[in-house]
Amino acid sequence: DVKVTQSSRYLVKRTGEKVFLECVQDMDHENMFWYRQDPGLGLRLIYFSYDVKMKEKGDIPEGYSVSREKKERFSLILESASTNQTSMYLCASRGGNEQFFGPGTRLTVL
C-alpha cells in the first residue's frame, strides 16, 4: 500500500513565523504535490515537483515555497505565515493514474 505521511495533523502558528510542512511518500514516486483545501473553494494546487530539485508553481504559489532535496520528501514552506494561510494542507504523490493523498495538516495562523 502506498503511504503518504505528513509531519503534523494539527499546527498552530503565529503571524510572521516561518512554517515548514513535511510530506514523505514510500513508493518511489517522482511526482509530488501540495494543495490547500478551503470551504467553498475546493482543493487548489500550490506547488508540484516532477523530480528531485525540480519544482513548478501551481495555481496559488504566492506566499509559499517548496523544497525537494530527496525523492521521497517534499516540503512546503510558509516564509512568513499570515492569517489568510489558515487552511487544510494536503500533500499528494502520483503513481500511474492514481494520486494518493496524505492525511492533511490543519494549520491555524493566529
Q: Is 33 in the site for another protein (CB under 8 A)?
A: yes
Q: Is 27 in the site for another protein (CB under 8 A)?
A: no
Q: Which of 1, 10, 40, 84 binds another protein (CB under 8 A)?
A: 40
Q: Which of 7, 6, 58, 63 is nearest to 33 (CA)?
A: 58
Q: Is 42 in the site for another protein (CB under 8 A)?
A: yes
Q: Which of 19, 36, 104, 107 binds another protein (CB under 8 A)?
A: 104
User: With CB under 8 A as the contact rule, which of the stretches 12-20, 51-59, 62-70, 71-79 interacts with another protein?
Assistant: 51-59
CB atoms within 10 A of CB 57: 13
For 23, half-sphere exposure in the C-beta direction (CA atoms, 13 angstrom radius) is 30
Shortest distance (Å) from residue 15 CB to another protein: 26
Q: Is 63 in the site for another protein (CB under 8 A)?
A: no
Shortest distance (Å) from residue 63 CB to another protein: 20
List, in sequence order, every beta strand (DSSP E) within the chain.
4-6, 10-13, 19-25, 31-38, 42-49, 56-57, 64-70, 73-78, 87-95, 98-101, 105-109
Cβ 75 vs Cβ 21: under 8 Å? yes
Q: Is 48 in the site for another protein (CB under 8 A)?
A: yes
Q: Is 64 in the site for another protein (CB under 8 A)?
A: no
